[in-house]
A and B are shown apart, each in its own frame.
Chain A
Amino acid sequence: MDSQIEKLHQQLVDQDISCKSLVQEKLDVLKPNTHNTVNTLLDKMALDLAEKVDAKIASGEPIGLLEGIPFGVKDVYMVQGTKTTASSNLLKHYTSAYTATAIQKLLDAGAIPIVKENCDSFGHGSSSENTIFGAVKNAINPNLVAGGSSGGSAVNVAKDYTVFSIGGDTGGSIRQPAGYNSVYGLKPTYGRISRYGLMAYASSTDCVGPIARSLEDIRIVLNTMSGKDPKDQTTYASVPISKESLSHIKTIKAVGYFKNFIENKAIDPKIKSDFLMTIEKIKANGFEVKPLDFFESETLVSTYYTLAMAETASNLSRLDGTNYGSRVEAENLKETYSVTRSQNFSEETKRRIVGGNQVLSQGFSDEIYLKALAIRDQISENFENDFSSVDIIISPVTPNTPPQIGSSLKDPLAMYLSDAFTVGFSLGQLPTLTVPQGTATGLQITAAKDKDGLVLTFANFLKDMM
C-alpha cells in the first residue's frame, strides 16, 4: 500500500478535502468505539488544530507533509491537558502536565492527535486485555485479542481509524500487535527516539515507535520523531533515512535466521512452513541465507521478564497516591500507600511489581537479577557476532496466531512465553520491524544498532518480492 500520508497531503493541498472534514471523519468512526480502542477522544483539540490548517491552506501558505494528518497516541504518552491513564485505575483521572518529546515533534510538524488509545495497563501484557477500558478486539477477527500492549494503536491503524499511531515497545508491544492485525510496526534502535514523556515500564528497553499501513509512512514518522533530546540522555543523534535509500537493496548481501525459533516445539506448523517458504524465496533472489544459533526461548523470555519486572517495580514505586492518582485514604501514610496500590493496580501489574521486588531483594539479586544481566550481555555479544556475518536477521513475529479474548490472562506463563520471538531483539536494543507479510502474523526484520534504514530497505524489497 502506498503512503496514506502523501495521499492525504496531496488531497489537502489540492483542496479536495478540508482538514476539518478529514479529522471529523476519523473522530466519527472512532466514537462508537467498536473495538475498544478508544480511551479518550481528543475531539476539541483536534478540530481546533484542523481549523488552523484549513485557514493556512485557504490563505495560500504551503503546508508540511504531516500538517493536518490525524494520528493516534497510545495512552501512555503525555500530551498536555489530555487524560493519560495508562489504561489503569490508578491514573484514570490523571491529566498530562506536559507533552512527550516524540509527540511534540509530531505536533510541531503539524500532525493532529485525535485519540488516546487503549493498551495493557502500564504496558503489562501481550493481549490488551489488562485494561480498565475493556479488551481490545482484533481488527481482522473481533473474537480474538488485538495483541499488546499497543493493541488499540494497531487496531486503529488496521481499521483506518487513524492514519498512523504511536505505540510503545518494551518486549514486543508494537511488533506483536502489528503482526496480529496485519500492519507495519517499528521498534527503532533504543535511543533513536526520546522516551521523555513516555510512562516508564522497563527503561532499558522502552522504545517509542510508529504503526502504519505503509512502509513509507513508517519512514516519514520515524524521521520526524528521531533525534537527540537533552531530556532523555540515552538518545543519540541519527541520520534521517531517505526515501531513495529504500531501493538500495544491493547494500544487503547476507540474511540470517535463528534455527531454534523454527525448531521450537511451540511454533504453529503453518507459521513454520510459511516462514521456511519465505526463506526459499529470499534465497532464490540471490541472497546468501545463513541459519544462526541463538538462545533458547525460555532463556530469552526469562531474562527479559526478570529485568523488565525489576525495572517496573522501581519505576512504578512512585505511584502511591500521594501527589497524583486515585488515593485511598487509610489510617496512616504507609497504609495509604499500601491500600492505594492494592486497590488500584491490576492483578498482572501487581504480579510484575512483586516479581521485580523479589529479584531485587537481598539474597536473590545475585542469583537472579545479576545473572539475568550477565545473560543479557551474552545476548548482545551474540548479536554483535551475528551481524559480522549477516546484514539482516528475519524471524516470525509470534509462534502462534492470536488467541481468543479471555484466554491469555488466565495463564500468565503462556502469555509470557508467547513473547519468545520478540524479547531477544528488545534486550539487544536492535531496530526491528514487523511487516504484514510472510506468515499469518507477519515477519520481523532486524539489523544491527542504528541500522534502522537497512531494516526498511529489506522490508521494501520483501514487499515487492511477496
Chain B
Amino acid sequence: MSKIMTVDILSSIKGAQPSKAVNKLFEVIKKANPSHNNAFNSTLNSVASLDHLRDDVVIESSELEKQIIIQNFPKSKNNYLVVSKVIEE
C-alpha cells in the first residue's frame, strides 16, 4: 500500500511547505498547451551514445584525495568515521 509523503519528508527539510511564488510558476505550466506531449521526443541530443560510453574501470584515488575525503568526514572517534544511528522501520 502506498504511503502519502509530504514535501517536508520528500525533501528531508523540517516543516517545509510549498511556496506561493513557486506555485505561481507551476500554474503557468498547468495552463500551457504544448502542441505535442511526447516529452521524450527530444531534440536535445545530449545523451551519451552507447559507442562512446567510457570503459567500466575502477580508478584508484590518489593518497591526497583519500586523505581529503577522510578530512571532510564530519565526525570521527578513535580513528573510526562515525555515522548516525540507523533505524529500521
Interface string of A302-331 (1 = CB under 8 A from B): 110110010001000100111111110111
Which of A353-371 touch B at CB < 8 Å? 353-355, 357-359, 361-362, 367-368, 370-371
- One of B16, B24, B39 near A374 (C-beta < 8 A): B39
**In the assembled complex, which residues on chain A have CB atoms less than 8 Å from the CB atom of B35?**
378
A384 close to B (CB within 8 Å): yes
- Shortest distance in angstroms between A207's beta carbon and chain B's nearest beta carbon? 11
Residue of B with least CB distance to A328: B74
Q: Is A260 an interface residue (CB 8 A)?
A: no
If the complex has contacts A95-B71, A374-B38, are A354 and B13 also in contact, measured as CB distance less than 8 A?
yes
Contact assessment for A95 and B11 in the assembled complex, using a CB-CB cutoff below 8 Å: no
Q: Total number of A-B contacts with CB less than 8 angstroms?
A: 185
Size category, B interface: 35 or more
Count of A interface residues, CB-CB < 8 Å: 76
- Chain B residues contacting A358 (CB-CB under 8 Å) are 7, 18, 22, 26
User: Which residues of the other chain, A, contact B87 by a CB distance below 8 angstroms?
Assistant: 332-334
Name the contact of A342 in the complex, choosing from B14, B34, B65, B68 (C-beta under 8 A): B14
Question: A95 CA to B68 CA in the complex, in Å?
Answer: 7
Determine if A302 and B13 form an interchain contact, defined as CB atoms under 8 angstroms apart: no
Known: A233-B52, A377-B36. A345 touches B13 (CB 8 A): yes
Complex-state Cα separation, A372 to B26, whole angstroms:
9
CA distance A334 to B12 in the complex (A): 8
Structural contact, B36 and A81, CB atoms closer than 8 A: no
| Inter-chain contact B73/A306, CB cutoff 8 Å | no
Q: Which of B13, B18, B34, B83 contacts A378 (CB 8 A)?
A: B34
For B75, what are the chain A residues with a Cβ–Cβ distance below 8 Å? 327, 329
The CA-CA distance from A81 to B71 in the complex, in Å, is 11
Is B21 part of the contact surface with A, judged by Cβ < 8 Å? yes
A376 to B75, CA, bound (A): 43
Chain B: minimal CB distance from A187 (Å):
15
- Alpha-carbon distance A325/B84, docked complex (angstroms): 14
Q: Is B41 an interface residue (CB 8 A)?
A: yes
Q: Is the CB of A351 within 8 A of B29?
A: no
A40 beta carbon closer than 8 Å to chain B = no
- Complex partner residue of A325 from B14, B37, B74, CB under 8 angstroms: B74
Q: Does B28 contact A (CB under 8 A)?
A: yes
Cα(A353)–Cα(B14), bound, Å: 12
B36-64 at interface with A (beta carbon < 8 Å): 36-44, 46-48, 52-54, 61, 64
Q: Please indicate the chain B residues that have their CB under 8 angstroms from the CB of A339 in the complex.
A: 14
Q: Which residues of B sit under 8 angstroms from A334, Cβ to Cβ?
A: 12, 87
Is residue A234 contacting chain B, with contact meaning CB distance below 8 A? yes
Interface status of A381 (Cβ within 8 A of chain B): yes
Interface membership of A397, Cβ < 8 A: no
Q: Does A387 contact B (CB under 8 A)?
A: no
- Inter-chain contacts of B40 with A (CB < 8 A): 373
Q: CB-CB contacts of B4-25 with A at 8 A, as 1s and 0s? A: 0101101111111111011011
- The reply to whether the CB of A214 lies closer than 8 angstroms to some CB of chain B is no
Asked if A357 and B54 make an inter-chain contact with CB atoms under 8 angstroms apart, the answer reads no
Q: Report the nearest B residue to A334, measured CB to CB.
A: B87
Q: Do B65 and A97 have beta carbons less than 8 Å apart?
A: yes
B1 at the interface (CB under 8 A from A): no
Interface residue? B30 (CB, 8 A):
yes
- Tell me if A299 counts as interface (CB < 8 A to partner B): yes
Q: 14 interchain pairs (CB within 8 A)?
A: A233-B53, A234-B47, A299-B32, A302-B26, A323-B73, A324-B73, A341-B12, A341-B13, A351-B19, A374-B36, A375-B32, A377-B34, A412-B19, A429-B46
Query: Apart from A233-B52, A299-B32, A350-B16, what 17 extra A-B contacts exist at CB < 8 Å?
Result: A97-B61, A97-B65, A97-B68, A191-B46, A233-B53, A233-B54, A306-B29, A323-B73, A323-B74, A341-B13, A354-B7, A357-B7, A358-B26, A374-B36, A377-B39, A381-B43, A413-B21
Closest 6 CB pairs of A and B: A233-B48, A373-B39, A327-B74, A302-B28, A413-B21, A355-B22
Which positions in B face A, CB cutoff 8 Å? 2, 5, 7-8, 10-19, 21-22, 24-26, 28-30, 32, 34-44, 46-48, 52-54, 61, 64-65, 68-69, 71-75, 83-87
